[in-house]
Amino acid sequence: MDNRLNGAEAMVRMLEAQGVRHIFGLCGDTTLPFYDAMHLLDHKIEHVLTRDERCATYMADGYSRVTGRPGVCEGPSGGGATYILPGLIEASESSYAVLGITTDISVASYGKYPLTEVDQEALMRPLTKWNTVIKRADHIPRMVRAAFRAMTTGRSGAAHLGLPYDIQYDSVDPAEIWADPALATYPAYRTGPDPAAVEAAVDAMLSAKTPLIVCGGGIVVSGAMAELDRLATRLDIAVATSISGQGALADSHPNALGVVGSNGGTDQTWEMMEAADLVIFMGCRAGSTTTSRWEAPSPGTRIVHFDVDPMVIGANLPTEVGVVGDLRLALESVNAELDRRGQGAATFGGAAAVADIKRRKFEIFDRIAAEDSRPIRPERVIASLMKVLPSDATVVSDPGTSCPYASAYYRQALAGRYFITNRAHGALGYSLSASLGAWYGRPQSKTVALMGDGSFGFTVGELETVCRSRAPITFVVFSNANFGWIKASQMADKGSRYYNVDFNRVDQAAVAAAYGVKSWRVEDPAELDRVLAEAVAHDGPTLVDIVTQPLEEANAPVRRWMG
């Protein structure tokens, strides 16, 4: 009896062996054997049919962020391969493990000008951490193992596998179907820091007068929150974050300053960046947003930098000490070194300074959030959400109108990845799709997606996928009838010379209702708390379309618009 597998079946079995439980994707001609294998085989994988390959990748991205497991998406050749690109580059640059599988034309037809031919390997090479188009069926198991090893080790990122049509029919030995269980989650095969670098970092910290820790997404990716908490508490050091670093500490933590920088930071939190005599970057690239285009740390400020990627350290700022290694292992080593030195008492007064800054910051926010003005103030929306959402809610934001407000003012009750936004490339249309992936990954958490009306128009079709999935996600649309980020930038940078940024006002609630989503449109701020509470409590998908103050008229926490 011949028990050999064909290539498509081998791909399914390899994904199952790697621990994959969900795949997000969209069918196409070159996918026929793969879908047939998914249909005929008895396996543990749920396939979620999406309406767009880009959205499938964003779903895999959101899934990966909340589970710590590689997210998997798939699409066909040609247009499917090009549509899947935006999500792969976002995941890779944000250091999240996402595997994109694109089926391809037959190897036998390469170079013959067949329909949908594109050089997938060349297309994906600059945008992924690891990438190949498989040319032989017996290579499938080995290439899948390599993709998962690349995605989950070192600095995690995206991988791509091209799966040509003809090799999906070729034979594969079932004995080759095996996987390393360590690669089912990430970071896998963590690497620890050089002890001498840890000692030097501790020396630098203890010699400072006004140190500030600035965390990027690496802390949460590594699961280093408890070790960071211990370090910040024992030395009483203030901890700021980038937008991606939100969740490094719970916002209720006495040492948690909040977001700093040009987006989501405020003048109050920026004071600590300017005043620090030592900035300790942890899993943060010290890029343009967090440093407000390298305005701070100012020249002469001492820098200590922790990161799993040695290419990051010293890339932008002269660095006194670089500590290369997994963030959790690195902070465990720092705390062990402080234990060895008997250093356990509070030192720097960070909590008192943070309390003063947050008091002044939220006095402004609370005043604006209490206004009964129309259009509704975005601050009012954030304040209402904080009243009605449970402490373990997952909030997913598009990078546009909602992002700076949520990053500056939403107070996350728990450490960990409970706030998600796509900060690497900032493509609109992310949150509607990524929220569904996050819900599949963590269905016990109430999931809320925030977006502007411009973003809503990018991916509205996925509301059908949400309804088919019966996902009780609440979508909140900040409706201001323009591409608000660009209009506010034209106000600040171009003397309010507005050009081609406005569009017709659309009733997003009516559009969503047509898909089967329970929806509300809110123009009166007095109705906001009640409507949001009803939407969050409803056992099914909901959408609240809120007519909000446009960004060019607002007090948005974006530094270049405020100065």
pLDDT tens figures, 436-456: 999 999 999 999 999 999 999
Region 364-393: mean pLDDT is 97
pLDDT tens figures, 257-284: 999 999 999 999 999 999 999 999 999 9
Cα dist from 237 to 188, 231, 337, whole Å: 30, 8, 17
- Cβ pair 436, 541 in contact under 8 A: no
pLDDT for 15:
98
Q: Residue 165: exposed, middle, or buried by beta-carbon count in 10 A (0-12, 13-18, 19+)? A: buried
| Coil/strand/helix, residue 518 | strand
Helix (H) or strand (E) holding 363: helix 350-369
| 51-64 CB burial, b ≥16 within 10 A, e <16 | bbbbbbbbbbbbbb
Cα dist from 444 to 438, 441, 471, 472, whole Å: 10, 9, 11, 10
In angstroms, rounded to a whole number, what is the distance separating the alpha carbons of residues 51 and 251?
36
In angstroms, rounded to a whole number, what is the distance separating the alpha carbons of residues 64 and 156?
11
CA neighbor of 501 nearest in space, from 515, 513, 490, 517:
490
Name the phi and psi angles at 357, rounded to 5: -65, -45
In angstroms, rounded to a whole number, what is the distance separating the alpha carbons of residues 548 and 371?
12
Measured between its terminal Cα atoms, the distance across the chain in Å is 76
pLDDT exceeds 50 at position 553: yes
pLDDT exceeds 50 at position 484: yes
pLDDT exceeds 50 at position 28: yes
What residues pair up with 103 in beta bridges, in sequence order? 163
pLDDT category, 199, cuts 50, 70, 90? very high
Cα dist from 434 to 60, 419, 429, whole Å: 7, 12, 9
Which residues make Cβ contacts (< 8 Å) with residue 468, sequence separation at least 6? 49
Cα 549 from chain centroid (whole Å): 26
- Cβ pair 419, 398 in contact under 8 A: no
Name the phi and psi angles at 239, rounded to 5: -125, 115
Pairing of strands 171-172, 158-164: unpaired
| Residue the block writes with tokens 């209720």 | 252
pLDDT for 346:
74
pLDDT for 423:
86
Alpha helix segments (H runs only) across 371-483: 378-388, 402-409, 430-441, 453-459, 463-469
pLDDT for 108:
83
pLDDT category, 563, cuts 50, 70, 90? low
- All structural domains of the chain, each given as residue ranges with its CATH number in brackets, are 5-184 (3.40.50.970), 195-353 (3.40.50.1220), 370-562 (3.40.50.970)
pLDDT tens figures, 96-142: 999 999 999 998 888 888 888 899 999 999 999 999 999 999 999 99
CA neighbor of 397 nearest in space, from 387, 410, 388, 386:
410
Cα dist from 332 to 199, 203, 336, 337, 339, whole Å: 12, 16, 6, 9, 10
pLDDT for 2:
58
pLDDT for 562:
67
Helix (H) or strand (E) holding 133: strand 130-133
In angstroms, rounded to a whole number, what is the distance separating the alpha carbons of residues 179 and 181?
6
CA neighbor of 192 nearest in space, from 332, 302, 86:
332
Which residues make Cβ contacts (< 8 Å) with residue 149, sequence separation at least 6? 180, 183, 188
Task: Give every strand in the sheet of 394-397, ordered side by side.
Answer: 419-421, 394-397, 447-452, 474-479, 542-547, 518-522
Q: Average pLDDT over the chain, rounded to whole?
A: 95
**Amino acid of residue 128:** T
| Coil/strand/helix, residue 477 | strand
pLDDT exceeds 90 at position 424: no
pLDDT exceeds 80 at position 506: yes
Cα 1 from chain centroid (whole Å): 48
In angstroms, rounded to a whole number, what is the distance separating the alpha carbons of residues 461 and 56?
12
Tell me if the bond preceding 378 is cis, omega within 30° of 0.
no
Region 507-517: mean pLDDT is 98
Global pTM exceeds 0.95? yes
